[in-house]
Amino acid sequence: MRVITGIAKGHKLKAPKGLNTRPTTDRIKETIFNIINVYPDDIVLDLFSGSGSVGIEFLSRGAKKCFFIDNDTASYKTIIENIEKTKLKDKSETYKLNYTNALNVLKNKNIKLHYIFLDPPYSKNLINQSIILIDEYNLLAEDGIIIAEHEKELKLDCFKNKYVINTRNFGDTSVSFLKIKED
């Protein structure tokens, strides 16, 4: 894993040891960042961060701030190391919390997020549960986008009344982009 472009371009990133994480591949990251545009005022959430590579890519490309959330101790330590290695600590907030507590913290801070990247463990329905809380807590900025990396079998049709959903497939993995429908 590496930072693809921006101020931290070329930095190699560590992955947490063990089988608890499934790092986002460089190919998937490249596709995500070919679809979206990162602006200097963007505030990002990398939920279920793992190594933090996607949030670090956002910061490297100029995002204002990224919140990194992971409940796993090895992942949390790896995120801290990667942020320090890429010299992006001043634009980062890192929390070792489960996703429900983390989303509640952001709600209490009255944070509006331009991008929310979700990459939870597969087959646990955490994407749907996360999106429900994101909606309930009104965390997404008006023009914000939720980017969900998930198993190909997972369908996000239950959100099609609120979001425009664009999904790209990569073998057994899919990435879905959810943007609030305009009235």
> What integer pLDDT is reported at residue 20 of this predicted model?
58
Residue 154: helix, strand or coil by DSSP? coil
> What integer pLDDT is reported at residue 122 of this predicted model?
82
Query: pLDDT tens digits, residue range 93-133?
Result: 999 999 999 999 999 999 999 999 999 988 788 999 999 99
In the chain, which stretches have pLDDT less than 70?
18-22, 183
pTM comes to: 0.94
Alpha-helical regions (H) of 69-119: 73-85, 99-108
> What integer pLDDT is reported at residue 17 of this predicted model?
78
* CA 25 distance to own-chain centroid: 13
> What integer pLDDT is reported at residue 21 of this predicted model?
62
Rounded CA separation 77/70 (Å): 10
Residue 43 half-sphere exposure toward CB, CA atoms < 13 A: 12
| CB atoms near residue 91 (< 10 Å) | 19
**For the chain, what percentages of helix, strand and coil (3-state, to nearest 5) are there?**
30, 25, 40
Facing residues of 151 across strands? 173
Residue 128: helix, strand or coil by DSSP? helix
